[in-house]
Every structure is written in structure tokens, then in C-alpha cells.
Amino acid sequence: MKLTLWTYEGPPHVGAMRVATGMKGLHYVLHAPQGDTYADLLFTMIERRNHRPPVTYTTFQARDLGGDTANLFKDAARDAYNRFKPQAMIVGASCTAELIQDDPGGLAEALDLPCPVIPLDLPSYQRKENFGADETFHQIVRALAKPMPRTEEITCNILGATALGFRHRDDVAEVTKLLALMGIKVNVAAPLGSTPAEIARMGQAHFNVLLYPETGESAARYLERSCGQPWTKVVPIGVGATRDFLHEVAGITGLSPKVDESGLRLPWWSASVDSTYLTGKRVFIFGDATHVMAAARIAATEIGFEVVGMGCYNREFARPMRAAAKAYGLEALISDDYLDVEDAIAAAAPELILGTQQERHIGKRLGIPCAVISSPVHVQDFPARYSPQMGFEGANVIFDTWIHPLVMGLEEHLLTMFREDFEFHDEAGASHHGAKATARTEAPVETAEASGGDIFEQMTPEDAPQMAEAAVLEAVALHWLPEAERELKKIPFFVRGKAKRNTESYAADRGVVAISVETLYEAKAHYAR
Amino acid sequence: MSLDAPSRGCRETPVLKERGQREVFCGLTGIIWLHRKMQDAFFLVVGSRTCAHLLQAAAGVMIFAEPRFGTAILEEKDLAGLADANAELDREVARLLARRPDIKQLFLVGSCPSEVIKLDLARAAERLSGEHAPHVRVYNYSGSGIETTFTQGEDACLAAMVPTLAATDARELLVVGAMPDVVEDQCLSLLAQLGVGPVRMLPARRSADTPSVGANTVFALVQPFLGDTHAALTRRGATHLPAPFPFGEEGTTAWLWAVAQEFGVTRAHFEAVTAAPRARAQKAVAAHASTLNGKSVFFFPDSQLEIPLARFLARECGMVPVEVGTPYLHTGIVGPDLDLLPEGPVISEGQDVEKQLDRQHAAKPDLTVCGLGLANPLEAKGHTTKWAIELVFTPVHFYEQAGDLAGLFSRPLRRKALLSQEAAE
């Protein structure tokens, strides 16, 4: 039993729904109690789908439990077939139905429906949403895709995109365009946008492109074994990864990886002088492993950030995640507890967070800007416009998306020049975000002697022992002298955290207990790049 | 005061009872508003990842502070041995209460899986109450989908509290049902002006204000879904005041008048107190009634608010209800509203969503009130919809909200008109 306040992933049957809802001509009969229909709104509201997910819920109640929930399932499955006439059906149980052990697969088989019926076994008390999607797609492919002669021209399948995926719709379109530049046609893209009939002819492709290992790797491995199709290991998110991907595809197909890059703008946008201010910005990255590992590479090598923390919530990918983090000298955070993530972010004090919708909330709480790079995401991260993450256009989109939450380059120079004057100060916020500028309240400058005197005058006898103790602690513990603290405040807020940390570690290394203005500037000189 | 019943109301209308797939939330959803209402309570669902996912989806994922609800997610090993599950639960509760010393009431909320494996949360609550008394009181109820639909979760929660309420012989009015604080304050102010009192609330905002109950307690419901709470209070000897629910000017007036009569308020004083807010409410509703007048409305079952809301829309806004679906029909509670709802609509209880969608499609109503899972698909087919959940999450009771309530229904129609204007150009 584990107390959970919020969860990155839903239960595995929601993963199965992501597959079913992404497809056409497939229907999912889910043995489930009333209430599990909440999952419909993930698709109709968050993703703004204009169709109900193709899911029939058996809706058993407490009074059915002693009686015949199995017949309830059979009726629901038969009615669903008659009403929707799907090309294929998947059947399974949600967490509660798993406990009553009605065996939806066996029951559906006994119905002898005139379409393939694929049973799903998704252990609700062990696994989560991504596993559910991956396993469901795997079982569908296993049931329907058979080895067959290759197409004459070079074709591939694109694997892994689902409903409710982060930018899956646009990634599939962008990767399709990218492959077309090499002269490769897409045989089937699945599950998103496919039908069971199309899945049945996946075997005729020459190879598979795996976009999302989280939701498509089992199918890719199965197709490799059963149909002899190799699959791509590089996920084309970012400029370098996209080029690597093209080379990988070239290796499989013998075609040239040289394609027209005239639409690619990230490298120049990053090289242009306004981007100088991005250099070394501290970034913390958290989400699903695939997006996080890709984002770290872009951050470090294509935008020039410093990656100060990274991790993922999907434990299945802990090993590659740890290896990736090690390359940046980091220990990966593998956790699905957002409070752990919040603590790690607060400790790393980044200037930018790249994360999921939960990290966006964490950023709001900590006052750190955030850009969203991974599921789970909310309604505002399903944009109306074309905005892939993959391929060259994806790289352009990523540059814009990550830079937007930050203070602009020129603005940052002004803030540095006029730091802490009446308009450019912490509370004013970034001007392009529409927050109302508030004039800084001018506090009277206290001198060290005066404030010390005041405190002791107001002190009551009861406070005295505690105060004395505090004074002793202060004498030995690292602390900032008032003047140094005022000087620290003149440093722009977005680098102040770093300046404070550097100064404190500089002081600690040298046994300095009271940090003065001199210590601050000595530390600055010491760390100057 | 015009409480003229129509020549024929809907009390005798035969009810279409349906059984099939239900497109509704389970009772756990009530935690979303109950934890805001009861400021020192924590709601601990003992359930699965699905329960946790439902709560965050229904709450719109609005975690800005650490919320006062969570899910103790059952794992494989908890299912294998129930003794271990109890030990695990005790450990999680101890850890939670240590971290949150502000918590005075803890609700262990049963779910579908905990009910199916027969995890005895009543005994767990007793055990934990003993362990953490007097600082924390531990209650339990079930919000499972196999037993409760959406708002029935609040009913189960309040009903679980009733047996533990202290006994009293005082003659008091108990107002039952969670309302947003702003509405509760208006309700209390109106009752104070009428001279009705003392007034207690269930649920109370803080555990220290938890009401007492006894044979001289008179209670009025402000939510129509409180059937079990009604029964539990009746068992404690309290007397129910049946009345239409305080939605709209007419409903609010009827509700207040039922209370006022019981407490000996004169007609003249009642008129003096209510005249101004009634006039305001009528004016506010009229602003929207022009949009709503003559339009047909179809309710999918959701919160059990459907009957009183249909009555409000029919009588104060001139709408024509075609079908009024409700998950459960407690005639003893919504009877006064059924009397006022003019004969005509199909009254349906329960749901077979596919059949109901067929009826809705055939009826082509001007406005369809439905859950979030159906709203966009119906909009895409050209229907105009109102999300039902907003009727539960928005302050809609009593006079000052009557206009807002009408506005919730008129806005989708006005929006559709605006957008079709653009499309026509």
C-alpha cells in the first residue's frame, strides 16, 4: 500500500484505451464498474476528441457480484459488436474486474463473434498506463500482423503513437515527411490513425520506425521476430538525434541520409547573438525517459544549457535513464512521487524546468519557469497548430517552446545594467508575460548596529536563552553580513541563486563564517568563466 | 408568492427505469468538494491507481498546495493477505497524521477494489480512531462505483457521520448538504433575518462546529442526493422538512417558507425579508430567460440535481424538458419538485447510455445537459451541450445565484449563436 496524492501514469487499462481510441474500427469491451467511465473525459476534454472513445463498460454493481457478472460481460460484448460492427475487438478487465476473475477473454471467445477478439491481460496492481498501451498494441499486432511479401518500393511502419500522447499527431506527420525526403513511404502508422485491417498488413514493410519506446517497443520486437523487420533505435527529437536517425535509416535501407535541411532553424537561432544569454542556464528535466533523454541532449549540445538534474517516472526505463544521466555527471531521479521531484528541483535550483504538467505546477510553486516536454499534459498542451517535437520542424518548435518562458536576451541585459532600480526588480516579472509591473517598496536601509540594537531592546526575558543560543549558532554557522546580503540582492534574481550558492561554497571551503561584500566578489572572481 | 402547482405535475409520471452502461462518475468524486468544505478533514481512499487517476482527472489536476485527499494504492501483496493490508493501512495513516498535524477528521473511503476484497474499513476506522483519539476522529464510508453514483459519495460521507453526532434535546434547525461558503453565508444570513435559529450545518466547516442531533432537531436538505443521510437523521429522531430545493427564485422562496412556517415566522415578516432578494433574483433570471424561453432541454443522469433543475428551467426560464434523467429518484426527497414540474417530460432513472443517446438524437433538443465524456462528441454532431459537472462545482443555490444558474444554461446557447454568426459570414 502506498499513499499517492497524484500519479504520473494511470492504470494499465487507460493505456489500452489510448491504443483503442487512437485507432478506428477497433472496439474495447472493458469489464468495469460504474465510474471507470471517467477515463472517457481524458480523451473528449483534455485531447478535445470529437468522438467518444470506442469503449463499452460493463458497469457491474455491488448487487451483481453475488450473481452473474459473467453474463453481464457477455451481453455487453454482444451488444457492442452489434452496435459498432468493429473489424476487431479487444476485451479486458479494469482493476476491480480483475479481482472477480470472470476471464473476459474466455467469455468473449465463447460468444464466437464474427470478428477477431483479442484478450488483454493487464495486471492492474502491478503495472501502469504505459505498460498497458505497449502490451495492448503488442497483443493486437501479435493477433493480426502476419509475415508477408515486402512491398516493391521501400516502406516502413511507424510504431508507438497513441491517443492522448504528447504531440503524437504531429510527430507522425513530421516523421512521415522526413522519411519521404529519403524516398521512403509509410506502409502503416499505428496505433494512432490505423485500423485492424491495416495492422494485418504491417508485415509487408521493410522495417519499422519506433517513435515511442514506452508504447511501441514490444510490438517492434515482436515484428522483428515474426516478420524479420529491423527497427530504429534512435528517437528523432532534436537536430543531432534527427540526423542520427536518418543515418540509422540509411544503414537499414541503403538510401542516402542527405536530405534538404533548409527548414531547420534551431542551429542558427541558437548561434545568433541574442541567444548568448542562454549559455549555461541551469535546467532540470523530468518526464518520460524517452523525452527526457532527448531533451537533455538538446539542452546540453544544441542550446548550451547546463543540465543540473534529470530523471523519469517510468521505472521500466531506469537503466538507460541512469546511463544517460551519468554522461552529464548526474544521478538520475527515478520516481513517480511528485513530492520527491519537487524536492529535487528545489535542491537543484534550476533557472528552467522541462517537465510534465506536474513540473509546470511545481515551477509555479517555486517561481521557476517551465516548458512542457512530456506526458502527462493538460488541455493547453494539445495545441491547435502544427507543433511536432520530432524532426527538423520539431527542433524549431522545441527552441521556441523552451525559450518562451524565459526572460528575453536583451531584457536580461537591461535587468543586469539597471538592476534593482525602481522598475527592473524581482517582483516586476518578465515583461512579455503580461504580469502587471509593481513598483518596488523601498525599505529603509537598516544598519547592522541599529537592527542589532532593536532586537535586543524588544527581547523579552523568556526569549533570552533562545536568542543566546541562536547567537552562538550564528557565530559558528555560515551567515551573510547585512551589507553583503544587500549586495546580493542587487544581483539579478535569475542568477542570484547561483551567486549565493557559489559564494557560500567558496566561503565554506575557506573556513569563512561571516560572508562580507569582499567574500561575494572574491567568489565571483573565483568562479568567473 | 406564486407556488401554484401545475394542473398536473410529474409525481405520478411512470418512471423509465434503465439498466446498462452508465456514463457517470463514482462516489469518490465527492471528495473534490468535500475536502474543500471540511477544512480540517483528510480523505484517504483505499483503492487502486484507477481511483487516484479518477480523482486527479475530475479535480482538473489542480494541485497548488498539498491536497487533503490521497489514495492508499493497493498492491499485489495487499490482495494476497488482508492482515498485511490492515497493517499497511495503519502505517500509512500514522505517517500521514504525523505529517499533517492540522488534520482533525480522517475519512477512510472505500472503493470498488476494497469492497470486492472485503477490506473492513469500519473496523479499521474504529481501531484507528482509538489509536489517534482524541486528536483525530476516524470515519469510514464507501465511495465505490459499485455502490455509489457521483454525488451519492457525499450522501455516504454525511450518513457515516450521523451516528457519531452528539445527542441534544435543543430545538435546532439543521441544514444538511455541502454548499460553497459564499452560499452557506447567504443561507445563514437569510435564516437569521427571518429569526430562525439556532441553525447548525452538516457538514460543518471545522470539526469543532460539528452539530448535535435529537428528537427536537428539524432538518432541511439543500442537496437532493442525500437519501441515506435523510434516513440516518430520521433514525436519530430528527424531523425532515420536505420542500422544493433552493434553486432559482421560486425554489429558494419555497424552501425558506417551509422552514419559516416550522419556526413560526409570520407571512408579513417573511415577505419583508425576502421581497428585495426575490426581486433581484427574478431580474437576474429574466436576463437569461429570453435566451432560454421555449427551448427544449434533455438531461442525461449525473448528479440527482436534474429534477429540481428541470423544475427551475421549466417554471422560471420557460424551457421545455424533453427527458429528465437521474441516476436515482428519491420521490420522498424530490417529491415537492416533481409536483411543480409540469407534466410532459420522460422521467428516467438509471442509464443505458447507448439507448439514451438514441433517444437524445431523435429528440434533437436545443440544449443537452450531460457529462464531460459525452459533451464534445455531441457538440461535434451539432448539439448544444452544458457540462453537468459545472452545476455541482459552481455556487448555484439561493437567491443571489439564481441568475448565475440560469446563465450556466444560457451561455452555451448564446455561444452557439455567436459562432454560427461568424460561420455564416
Q: What SS3 class is residue A17?
A: helix
Does A428 map to a domain?
no
Measured CA angle at B217 (ends B213, B220), to 5 deg: 105
CB atoms within 10 A of CB A108: 23
pLDDT higher than 90, residue A490: no
Q: What is the dihedral of CA B146, B147, B148, B152, to 10 degrees?
A: 180
Q: Both A247 and A277 in a single domain?
A: no
pLDDT for position A67: 77
Higher pLDDT, A397 or A444: A397
Q: Both A296 and A201 in a single domain?
A: no
Mutate to test the interface with B, among A5, A6, A8, A38 (most CBs of B within 10 A): A38
Going from the C-alpha of B30 to that of each of A370, B33, B45, B143, B227, the distances in angstroms are 32, 6, 12, 8, 15
Q: What SS3 class is residue B165?
A: coil
d(CA B384, CA B359): 16
pLDDT higher than 80, residue A443: no
What's the average model confidence in pLDDT over B104-109?
A: 97
Q: Both A112 and A184 in a single domain?
A: no
CATH of the domain at A241: 3.40.50.1980
pLDDT higher than 90, residue B378: yes
pLDDT for position B163: 97
What's the average model confidence in pLDDT over A241-267?
A: 97
Measured CA angle at A235 (ends A197, A134), to 5 deg: 45
pLDDT higher than 80, residue A512: yes
Burial of B284 (0-12, 13-18, 19+ CB in 10 A): buried
Residue whose C-alpha is closest to residue B2's, from B245, B257, B196: B257
Which residue segment(s) compose the domain that A459 sits in?
448-527
In A, minimum Cα distance to B65 occurs at A365
d(CA A8, CA A21): 20
Tell if the CB–CB gap between A99 and B66 is shorter than 8 Å.
no
Cβ partners under 8 Å of residue B161, min gap 6: B139, B202, B203, B210
Pick A35's closest partner by Cβ from B25, B74, B76: B25
The secondary structure of residue B149, as a DSSP letter, is B
Our CA-based measurement puts residue B60 at a distance from the nearest CA of chain A, in whole angstroms, of 9
Does A441 map to a domain?
no
Joined together, the cell numbers standing for residue B270 give 417573511
- Per residue in B16-35, pLDDT tens? 999 999 999 999 999 999 99
Does A183 map to a domain?
yes
| Number of domains forming the structure of chain A | 4
Q: Report whether the peptide linkage leading into residue A376 is cis, meaning its omega lies within 30 degrees of zero.
A: yes
Does A133 map to a domain?
no
Pick B377's closest partner by Cβ from A37, A42, A51: A51
Percent of chain A, pLDDT > 90?
Answer: 71
Helix axes B49-58, A12-22, angle to 10 degrees: 60
What's the average model confidence in pLDDT over A481-502?
A: 81
pLDDT for position A467: 47
Does A105 map to a domain?
yes
> Do A340 and A358 touch, CB atoms closer than 8 A?
no
Q: What SS3 class is residue A317?
A: helix
Higher pLDDT, B85 or A25: A25
d(CA A469, CA A451): 18
Does A413 map to a domain?
no
Residue whose C-alpha is closest to residue A312's, from A324, A298, A302: A324
**Which of A101, A128, A155 is the last residue in one of the domains?**
A128
Q: Both A246 and A271 in a single domain?
A: no
- B62 confidence band (pLDDT: 50, 70, 90): low
CATH 3.40.50.1980 fits B27-148, yes or no: yes
> Do A95 and B113 touch, CB atoms closer than 8 A?
yes
pLDDT for position A465: 47
Q: Both A107 and A34 in a single domain?
A: yes
Higher pLDDT, B98 or A494: B98
d(CA A499, CA A485): 11
d(CA B282, CA B402): 8
How big is chain A, counted in residues?
A: 529
Q: Both A179 and A239 in a single domain?
A: yes
- Per residue in A365-400, pLDDT tens? 888 999 999 999 988 899 999 999 999 999 999 999
In A, minimum Cα distance to B142 occurs at A62
pLDDT for position A393: 98
Pick A5's closest partner by Cβ from B29, B70, B88: B70
Q: Both A217 and A120 in a single domain?
A: no
pLDDT for position A1: 87
pLDDT for position B85: 84
CB atoms within 10 A of CB A466: 10
Q: Both A189 and A219 in a single domain?
A: yes
Catalytic residue, candidates A75, A79, A274, A400: A274
Q: Both A112 and A50 in a single domain?
A: yes
- Give the A:B interface size as CB pairs under 8 Å: 189
Tell if the CB–CB gap between B52 and A6 is shorter than 8 Å.
yes
Percent of chain B, pLDDT > 70?
Answer: 96
Integer Rg of chain A from CA:
28
Going from the C-alpha of B235 to that of each of A151, B208, B349, the distances in angstroms are 76, 23, 27
CATH of the domain at A465: 1.10.8.550
Tell if the CB–CB gap between A59 and B115 is shorter than 8 Å.
no
d(CA B277, CA B259): 17
Our CA-based measurement puts residue B230 at a distance from the nearest CA of chain A, in whole angstroms, of 22
Task: List, in sequence order, the alpha helices (H) in B100-142.
Answer: 112-116, 121-132
Q: What is the dihedral of CA A384, A385, A391, A396, to 10 degrees?
A: -130
Domain ranges of chain B: 15-22+281-424, 27-148, 172-262
- A488 confidence band (pLDDT: 50, 70, 90): confident
Mutate to test the interface with B, among A18, A37, A58, A84 (most CBs of B within 10 A): A37
Asked if A315 is an interface residue toward chain B (Cβ–Cβ < 8 A), one would say no
Within 42-71 of A, beta carbons closer than 8 Å to B belong to 42, 44-45, 48-52, 56-62, 64-65
**Which of A128, A159, A189 is the last residue in one of the domains?**
A128
Residue A336 is among the residues annotated as catalytic for this protein: no
Chain A residues with beta carbon closer than 8 angstroms to that of B21: 37, 56-59, 76
> Do B35 and B9 touch, CB atoms closer than 8 A?
no
pLDDT higher than 90, residue B136: yes
Domains B15-22+281-424 and B172-262 share a fold: yes
Higher pLDDT, A525 or A163: A163
What does the mean pLDDT of chain B come to?
93
- B53 confidence band (pLDDT: 50, 70, 90): very high
Tell if the CB–CB gap between B145 and A40 is shorter than 8 Å.
no
pLDDT higher than 90, residue A2: no
pLDDT higher than 60, residue A446: no
- Per residue in B351-365, pLDDT tens? 999 999 999 999 999
Q: Both A40 and A118 in a single domain?
A: yes
What does the mean pLDDT of chain A come to?
89
- Per residue in B225-258, pLDDT tens? 999 999 999 999 999 999 999 999 999 999 999 9
Tell if the CB–CB gap between A59 and B61 is shorter than 8 Å.
no
pLDDT for position B58: 80
Does A103 map to a domain?
yes
**Which of A253, A286, A309 is the last residue in one of the domains?**
A253
- Per residue in A106-164, pLDDT tens? 999 999 999 999 999 999 999 999 999 999 999 999 999 999 999 999 999 999 999 99
In A, minimum Cα distance to B56 occurs at A6
Pick A34's closest partner by Cβ from B24, B53, B69: B24
pLDDT for position A255: 97
Mutate to test the interface with B, among A1, A65, A359 (most CBs of B within 10 A): A1
pLDDT for position B408: 97
Is the dihedral angle over the CA atoms B122, B78, A123, A100 positive or is it negative? negative
pLDDT for position A462: 47
CATH fold, domain B15-22+281-424, is: Rossmann fold (3.40.50)
Mutate to test the interface with A, among B31, B66, B376, B381 (most CBs of A within 10 A): B376
Q: Both A216 and A298 in a single domain?
A: no
- Per residue in A299-348, pLDDT tens? 999 999 999 999 999 999 999 999 999 999 999 999 999 989 999 999 99
Domain spanning B172-262, CATH architecture = 3-Layer(aba) Sandwich (3.40)
Q: Both A396 and A277 in a single domain?
A: yes
pLDDT higher than 60, residue A454: no
pLDDT for position A447: 40
- Per residue in B266-298, pLDDT tens? 999 999 999 999 999 999 999 999 999 999 999
Joined together, the cell numbers standing for residue A151 give 512491398
Residue whose C-alpha is closest to residue B23's, from A79, A41, A73: A41
